[in-house]
Amino acid sequence: MLESDGPGGAEVLLLQLAEELRRRGHTIVPVGPEHGVGWLGARLRESGFEPATFRLDRTLDPGLVRRLGALFDRRGVDLVHGHEFTMAVYGAAAARRRGLPNVITFHGSQTMCRALRRRAAVRWAMRRSAATVAVSDATRRQLAADLGVAGDRITTVVNGVAVRPGNPATVRAELGVPDGELLLLAVGNLSERKGHLILLQALAQLEREGLRAPWRLAIAGGRGGEMHQPLLRFAGEHGLASRVHILLNRADVPDLQAAADVFVMPSLWEGLPLAVLEAMVAGKAIVASRTSGIPEAIVDGEHGLLVPPGEPGPLAAALRRVLEPGDLRHRLAAAAERRGRAEFTIEAMADRYEAVYRRALIPA
């Protein structure tokens, strides 16, 4: 169960995890918002699932607990798995009323626990759940500190991604990338925390410094966001408009990853972003912020280059290193691919979640 259904990391993870668990013989009942964007529900139906929906009539809605419980009965649910705040809390309440084990996963929001009432609600849900999961050790430590609970009350299950080869030719033709030009790719909704403006500032700095390597940038911006117009405005004001492409609601991320020469994740904070893991298994050179769970996947200088979040200067310097001629870009890409395919696949993640589910299903 997930409270949002637009194109994003948690949504993609839920879809891919559902597909892998079904392949292993489990029956999956995906649950998303009744009045959402509709992206995830459409992808689930295309994949052969019969997703259910929920509606939240008010901030505190006891009716949702009853409706979820009735859904569990109708669909013969054995275990409930809620992702993020709303489904963690209401899923725990509904599962408890039906005597079902409940598992919670948090994906790394730094704003979730700011309000006292939300912290209290999460602690309540944790006490009534068989397991609470974080997608990285950094997320686990932050969550434990925010909630004032022992770190060992939260389990880490690192994210994983499907290994899906893409077609680079279609994307490079669509964007007009000529031979010899390097394509940079950033993936993430167009919110401030994703750091896309920092990326444009770094690229503008490289242009002022006379970078010789020809480049083009594609930002796969998911469902968009409040930074869309500021990004377009900055690109126009700094002479970058012809080389910056903002792409929304793309369903061809494997093709985008295949087409890219360099993947950039300039976020201010994250959990363990799927886009970084997708770039790893696709064999791309990666430049990313040294924040949250990213250093757990990428060792600086070995699988990619890590820079302080929110600082255009260090980001520009790292980009220069991978854009200029030399073997660094290819060496980082090969190392990232080896580690990604060994540790961060959807199969490895599903193994870990199945172990969590088995422990949850053991009677107390």
pLDDT in tens, 4-32: 998 888 999 999 999 999 999 999 999 99
- Number of domains into which the chain is organized: 2
On the question of pLDDT at 113 being above 90, the answer is no
Name 161's Cβ contacts closer than 8 Å, sequence gap at least 6: 16, 274, 277, 278, 281, 340, 344, 345, 346
Task: For residues 353 and 348, give the distance between their C-alpha atoms in angstroms, rounded to a whole number.
Answer: 9
Task: For residues 287 and 182, give the distance between their C-alpha atoms in angstroms, rounded to a whole number.
Answer: 14
Strand ranges in the chain using DSSP code E only, listed in sequence order: 31-33, 52-54, 80-83, 102-106, 131-134, 155-156, 182-187, 215-220, 244-247, 262-265, 285-289, 305-307
Task: For residues 167 and 151, give the distance between their C-alpha atoms in angstroms, rounded to a whole number.
Answer: 43
The verdict on 122 and 194 lying in the same domain is no
CA nearest 284: which of 255, 309, 304, 314?
A: 304
Identity at 62, one-letter amino acid code:
P
Residue-number span of the structural domain to which 234 is assigned: 168-343
Residue 21 belongs to a domain: yes
CATH number at residue 217: 3.40.50.2000
Task: For residues 8 and 98, give the distance between their C-alpha atoms in angstroms, rounded to a whole number.
Answer: 31
CA nearest 186: which of 260, 263, 255, 131?
A: 263
The verdict on 227 and 335 lying in the same domain is yes
pLDDT for residue 108: 82
pLDDT for residue 59: 85
- Rounded-to-5 percentages of helix, strand, coil across the chain: 50, 15, 35
Residue 22 belongs to a domain: yes
The verdict on 318 and 186 lying in the same domain is yes
Encoding tokens for residue 274?
Answer: 């799927």
Residue 351 belongs to a domain: yes
**DSSP per-residue string spanning 64-128:** HHHHHHHHHHHTT-S-EEEEHHHHHHHHHHHHHHHT--EEEEE---SSTTSSHHHHHHHHHHHHT
Residue 200 belongs to a domain: yes
**DSSP per-residue string spanning 197-233:** HHHHHHHHHHHHTT--S-EEEEEE-TT--TTHHHHHH
Residue 1 belongs to a domain: no
| Band of residue 364 on the pLDDT scale cut at 50, 70, 90 | low
Residue 2 belongs to a domain: no
177-187 pLDDT per residue, tens? 999 999 999 99
How many residues does the structure list for the chain? 364
What rounded mean pLDDT belongs to the chain?
95
On the question of pLDDT at 207 being above 80, the answer is yes
The verdict on 270 and 310 lying in the same domain is yes
Phi, psi (deg, nearest 5) at residue 106: -115, 135
Q: What is the mean pLDDT of residues 328-337?
A: 98
On the question of pLDDT at 288 being above 70, the answer is yes
**Which residue did the predictor score with more confidence, 301 or 109?**
301
The verdict on 115 and 182 lying in the same domain is no
Strands 285-289 and 155-156 come out as unpaired
The verdict on 239 and 131 lying in the same domain is no
Residue 89 belongs to a domain: yes
The verdict on 331 and 350 lying in the same domain is no
The verdict on 254 and 351 lying in the same domain is no
